[in-house]
């Protein structure tokens, strides 16, 4: 790919006379203006009501109620652009210095926007149009929303540094994951983080935001990216179309889960401001799904044949609809829901499952892992025992994270029998079953496995992480990070931290078990026995520590 910047939006179709290259900035400006107009329209009524009651409450909000949604919206748009650039550089197109420079510049702008958002949020909390440094410090240190924004700011700085330093597709993929994490602290500290069904709602919202960022960012990167031959563009679009389909489904389903927990009755969909915005947002996502289907049926075949104009026109409309949808989402975050206690009162077929506390993130991870495994193994004479072990491992993870056992653990405390069973299942049984499925062998032998995945499995970084001297201490730290009482109390209060800790336990457990399995096939049995003894000792010490906590009432 050429390194120089181009002003062409898309490569002209073969056989079509060359036309004056299109500029990107009118489309970008139109998308930003549309999103700002939508969010302003959504918050208009609530802000007018606040302006009427503010004097009676001793508040002087000034322009903050208008500026804060705009700052949040700009922050969302910037992170979408960053994610799109990194997604394209890591997975869709060859990495170029220009793409990483664009990502770095946008990341710096994102850092500035988050800082402005911190000041505006502090002003809103204290009910004043301006605040001093001491008030901002109090907001960042003492209030959960302030700490969440501070963490997001620190992670945004790390993303900017990562964009500046990344030189490989794997580096871009790592920074992309970091950018997705950086978006989440304000999400988990918002409306959905309180209430009876907050675990389901927060997890659904995390998936919702991550899927939306990848979906919108990927389309923006493909449409607004540098000029490329039609064949290269067709390859990038084909790769992105599979991800877009998954992201569309995840965005719609998780949005419905979150809405069901925030609506008190069905009539709220058309009688409350929150319900009207939810309805409009759902309609926009369904429209985007229809446009995506149109892509697959019409524009993608034409793009493969060398004509990119149909794709460019339809993708432009799709991007504008996405911008309006982001504006609706930013406005929805500022709209009080009818059911602010987070208890799902709308009776739906999913209501009994909500009482079972399904964990959307682990459910999605299990579904993707099982589907990918089945797809890779379908054309191979793969042992059924390995397939059964893989499926059983992921299903056990879902049960441990979603069943009443998951709810009983935090309620009864770190030393309870429920938490002991849960920790043992997640830390010992799940990794053993997953590794027994031999996923690495399957990925390296099956046809159709993405080259990036096989390259990642053979990368020096992953080899370093799976060395016994590295992975075993990480595994031990993750185990004791769960059961130490101080960490567990914080863990019980923060569902986002709960998800992070258990993800670390599963990942390091799988890594440790993989090391043991690999040594088992090498000459000599001493390393295998030594590592197995370490694993058993770690598990035994964990059980003993939990039992001691239980006996002392800790």
For residue range 294-307, list pLDDT tens digits in order: 888 888 888 877 77
* Cα–Cα dist 256/253, whole Å: 5
Residue 4: pLDDT over 50: no
Lowest mean pLDDT among 27-41, 50-64, 263-277: 50-64
**Average pLDDT for the chain:** 77
* Cα–Cα dist 206/187, whole Å: 7
**pLDDT grade for 145, boundaries at 50, 70 and 90:** confident
Instruction: Give the pLDDT confidence score for residue 80 in this predicted structure.
Output: 95
Lowest mean pLDDT among 120-124, 381-385, 498-502: 498-502
Say if CB 156 and CB 111 are below 8 A apart: yes
Neighbours of 436 (CB within 10 A): 17
C-alpha distances (whole Å) from 311 to each of 153, 233, 479 are 36, 10, 50
Residues 6+ apart with CB under 8 A from 305: none
Instruction: Give the pLDDT confidence score for residue 161 in this predicted structure.
Output: 96
Q: What is the pLDDT of residues 433-454, one digit of tens each?
A: 888 888 888 887 876 666 666 6
> What backbone phi and psi angles, to 5 degrees, belong to 453?
-70, -45
pTM, two decimal places: 0.76
Residue 239: enclosing H or E segment and its boundaries?
Answer: helix 230-262
| CA-based nearest residue to 95, from 19, 195, 165 | 165
Domain ranges of the chain: 60-189, 192-347, 356-551
**395 or 261, greater pLDDT:** 395
Lowest mean pLDDT among 200-214, 383-397, 456-470: 456-470
Lowest mean pLDDT among 198-212, 292-306, 354-368: 354-368
Find how far residue 33's CA is from the centre of its chain.
26
Q: What is the three-class DSSP state of 203?
A: helix
The residue-averaged pLDDT of 341-366 equals 62
**407 or 388, greater pLDDT:** 388
Residue 112: pLDDT over 90: yes
Residue 55: pLDDT over 80: no
| CA-based nearest residue to 148, from 182, 195, 198 | 182
| CA-based nearest residue to 221, from 110, 30, 79 | 79
* Cα–Cα dist 250/363, whole Å: 11
Instruction: Give the pLDDT confidence score for residue 536 in this predicted structure.
Output: 62
Find how far residue 450's CA is from the centre of its chain.
21
* Cα–Cα dist 517/194, whole Å: 42
Structure token pair of residue 431: 């990794």
Residue 491: pLDDT over 60: no
Q: What are the residue ranges of helices labelled H in 378-450?
A: 384-402, 404-412, 417-424, 430-436, 439-445
**pLDDT grade for 17, boundaries at 50, 70 and 90:** very low
Q: What is the three-class DSSP state of 15?
A: coil
* Cα–Cα dist 221/228, whole Å: 12
* Cα–Cα dist 273/256, whole Å: 16
| CA-based nearest residue to 393, from 514, 538, 530, 537 | 514
| CA-based nearest residue to 208, from 249, 174, 243, 173 | 249
Q: State percent of the chain over pLDDT 70.
A: 73
Residues 6+ apart with CB under 8 A from 190: 145, 205, 333
* Cα–Cα dist 434/232, whole Å: 37
Residues 6+ apart with CB under 8 A from 64: 120, 123, 124, 129
* Cα–Cα dist 124/46, whole Å: 14
**pLDDT grade for 105, boundaries at 50, 70 and 90:** very high
* Cα–Cα dist 27/220, whole Å: 10
């Amino acid at each position: 790919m050429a390194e120089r910047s181009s002003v062409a939006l898309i490569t002209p179709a073969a056989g079509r006379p060359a036309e004056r290259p299109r500029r990107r900035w009118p489309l970008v400006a139109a998308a930003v203006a549309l999103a700002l107009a939508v969010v302003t329209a959504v918050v208009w009524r609530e802000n007018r009501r606040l302006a009427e009651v503010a004097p009676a409450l001793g508040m002087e909000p000034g322009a903050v109620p208008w500026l804060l949604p705009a700052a949040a919206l700009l922050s969302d748009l910037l992170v979408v652009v960053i994610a799109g650039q990194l997604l394209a550089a890591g997975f869709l197109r060859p990495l170029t210095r220009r793409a990483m420079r664009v990502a770095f510049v946008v990341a710096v702008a994102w850092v500035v926007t988050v800082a402005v958002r911190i000041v505006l949020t502090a002003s809103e909390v204290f009910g004043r149009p301006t605040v001093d440094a001491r008030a901002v410090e109090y907001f960042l240190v003492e209030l959960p929303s302030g700490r969440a924004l501070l963490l997001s700011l620190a992670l945004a700085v790390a993303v900017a540094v990562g964009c500046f330093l990344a030189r490989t597709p794997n580096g871009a993929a790592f920074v992309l994951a970091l950018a997705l994490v950086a978006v989440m602290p304000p999400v988990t500290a918002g409306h959905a983080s309180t209430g009876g069904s907050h675990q389901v709602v927060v997890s659904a919202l995390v998936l919702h935001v991550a899927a939306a960022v990848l979906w919108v960012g990927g389309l923006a990167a493909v449409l607004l990216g540098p000029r490329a031959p039609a064949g290269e563009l067709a390859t990038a679009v084909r790769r992105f179309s599979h991800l877009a389909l998954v992201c569309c489904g995840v965005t719609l389903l998780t949005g419905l889960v979150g809405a069901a927990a925030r609506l008190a009755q069905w009539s709220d969909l058309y009688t409350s401001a929150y319900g009207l915005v939810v309805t409009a947002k759902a309609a926009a996502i369904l429209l985007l799904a229809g446009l995506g289907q149109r892509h697959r049926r019409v524009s993608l075949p034409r793009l493969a044949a060398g004509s990119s104009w149909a794709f460019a026109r339809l993708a432009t409309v799709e991007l504008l609809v996405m911008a309006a949808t982001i504006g609706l989402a930013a406005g929805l975050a500022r709209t009080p829901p009818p059911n602010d206690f987070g208890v799902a009162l709308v009776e739906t077929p999913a209501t009994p499952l909500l009482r079972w506390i399904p964990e959307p993130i682990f459910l999605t991870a299990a579904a993707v892992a099982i589907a990918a495994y089945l797809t890779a193994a379908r054309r191979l004479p793969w042992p059924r025992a390995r397939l059964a072990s893989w499926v059983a491992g992921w299903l056990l993870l879902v049960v441990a994270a979603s069943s009443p056992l998951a709810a009983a653990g935090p309620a009864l405390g770190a030393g309870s029998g429920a938490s002991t069973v849960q920790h043992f299942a997640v830390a010992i049984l799940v990794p053993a079953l997953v590794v027994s499925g031999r996923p690495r062998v399957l990925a390296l032998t099956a046809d159709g496995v993405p080259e990036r995945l096989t390259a990642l499995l053979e990368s020096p970084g992953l080899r370093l992480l799976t060395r016994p001297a590295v992975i075993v201490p990480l595994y031990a730290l993750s185990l004791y990070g769960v059961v130490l009482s101080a960490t567990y109390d914080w863990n019980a209060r923060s569902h986002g931290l709960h998800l992070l800790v258990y993800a670390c336990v599963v990942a390091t457990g799988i890594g440790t078990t993989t090391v043991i399995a690999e040594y088992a096939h090498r000459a000599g049995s001493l390393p295998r026995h030594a590592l197995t003894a370490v694993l058993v000792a770690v598990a035994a010490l964990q059980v003993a520590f939990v039992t001691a906590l239980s006996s002392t009432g800790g």
